[in-house]
Amino acid sequence: MASIVPVDPIHLVYRTPLASRYASASMKQNFSDFKKFSTWRKLWVHLAKAEKALGLDITDEQIQDMEKNIENIDFELAAKEEKKFRHDVMAHVHTFGAACPNAAPIIHLGATSCYVGDNTDLIVLRDGLEILKPKLASCLEELCKFAVEHKSLPCLSYTHLQSAQVSTVGKRACLWAQELLMDLQALERVSTDLRFRGVKGTTGTQASFLALFEGNTRKVEELDSMVTDMAGFKRHFIICGQTYPRKVDTDIVSVLASFGASVHKVCTDIRLLASFQEMEEPFEADQIGSSAMPYKRNPMRCERVCSLARLLMALVQNPLATASVQWMERTLDDSANRRVVLAEAFLAADAILQTLQNVFEGLVVYPRVIARRLSEHLPFMASENIIMAMVRAGGNRQECHEKIRSLSLQSAALMKQEGLPCDLLDRVRNDPYFQPILDKLDACVDAKTFSGLSERQVERFVTEEARPMLIKYEDHLTKAAKLDI
């Protein structure tokens, strides 16, 4: 009889799958309680240092005690204090004060809850963007390599998911890369635009600090600038209510949602190409595609990306709604919503990027299948070339067009009704009308002559647009993204 294995308590409670299953350790740490509450303490230290420098009665010993206890967080005590006060910030003020009682009288001096709450959120958002940007750059780097490698491999292109003209595998990859490059540019923009809330007091008027400094406007404004600088921001809001503008959340999550739309399109394309057997995502030796169908090679990674991307795209509705109902200087109905949405948006984007890089690093192309599928449609696409060749040989354009049209319809009917391969070229060869150009027929259906400037476009896009953006990340690119599941 098998022994009974004890259940780890962690498996007895719900955990968001984004944290337990998909996202990276760095992003989970960024949104952790430890990061949040240790940042609160750092902000209290920044405030105390700036207030002391501007003349308030705060000692070096008090600041040193605070600094020594930034990471010494008694979470159990904080939970008890919050249960008593029904206020998370005051619970941690008391908990911090218990760790450094000498500094307790000056912790949070003049500040409101949003001083630590909102400013910490902005720090976490900033740091989250810094985690995402090099990961997206790494995905782009891999995709650009793939595009260059396959820049001249002809393939069918599609409109309406119907065969259209000839493109190249590399050109299609650049369609994907271009949208992801736009997403990277958008991430950089919101990073650059991000501002600190700063030291603004209860409803953003800075009245409490004006009282602390006995009406000295210069010192109040210096305090704001000093703390902003200590927190690593170049700018702070001049105008805000009790909170920083919730449009900031909308802007950031909108960029992440737009990225979600991009990767959904990319991975949907790869899934479709996998069904055509032209291209596949990586498939490991021991991977099982189906519990019932052993031969299956399901595009699990791309399906995961699409699944998470839909979540990411939907999340943007929350910050939009939240920003729209911030009555006057603020309402508290933003709090619970933001605790969930901001973290989940970043964790989802992070999980997507991990999976996407794994896909891009291991993309498999099947040139012979691509060539076979192309050959089935190429004769129809070559019709115009055949017409032009006949005209150059002295033929009549309209007469030749009617000949080709008639033969094309016959061939297409045979393909659809009897499942036979395209025989249009054989029909052209066997028709005496086309005798003058039989020696030029092979050149008329050379796939490489149909892809236009595809190869050059790949080279130009990678050289002129992608590389200049990616060069700043070259020391931070990651390799060999591995998935645990």
Catalytic residues: 160, 290
Q: Tokens at residue 444, please?
A: 């008329």
> Rounded to an integer, what distance in angstroms lies between the CA atom of residue 340 and that of residue 229?
29
- Burial label for 287, CB within 10 Å (0-12, 13-18, 19+), is exposed
- Burial label for 421, CB within 10 Å (0-12, 13-18, 19+), is exposed
Residue spans of beta strands (DSSP E) within 259-320: 279-280
Give the list of residues 6+ apart from residue 238 with CB closer than 8 angstroms, or none: none
Contact indicator for 154, 448 with CB cutoff of 8 Å? yes
> Rounded to an integer, what distance in angstroms lies between the CA atom of residue 98 and that of residue 113?
19
Q: Tokens at residue 111, please?
A: 């500040």
> Rounded to an integer, what distance in angstroms lies between the CA atom of residue 10 and that of residue 31?
19
Contact indicator for 237, 198 with CB cutoff of 8 Å? yes
H or E element that contains 318: helix 317-324
DSSP per-residue codes, 130-166: HHHHHHHHHHHHHHHHHHHHTTT-EEEEEETTEEEEE
Rg for the chain (alpha carbons), in Å? 31
Please name which of 68, 70, 148, 59 lies closest in space to residue 109, comparing C-alpha atoms: 59
Residue type, 59: T
Place of tokens 């960029």: 255
Contact indicator for 112, 452 with CB cutoff of 8 Å? no
Give the list of residues 6+ apart from residue 233 with CB closer than 8 angstroms, or none: 122, 126, 194, 195, 196
Residue type, 363: L
Residue 112, phi-psi category: left (phi > 0), alpha (psi -120 to 50), beta (remainder): beta
- The residue count of the chain comes to 485
Please name which of 196, 148, 197 lies closest in space to residue 173, comparing C-alpha atoms: 148
Residue spans of beta strands (DSSP E) within 306-407: 364-365
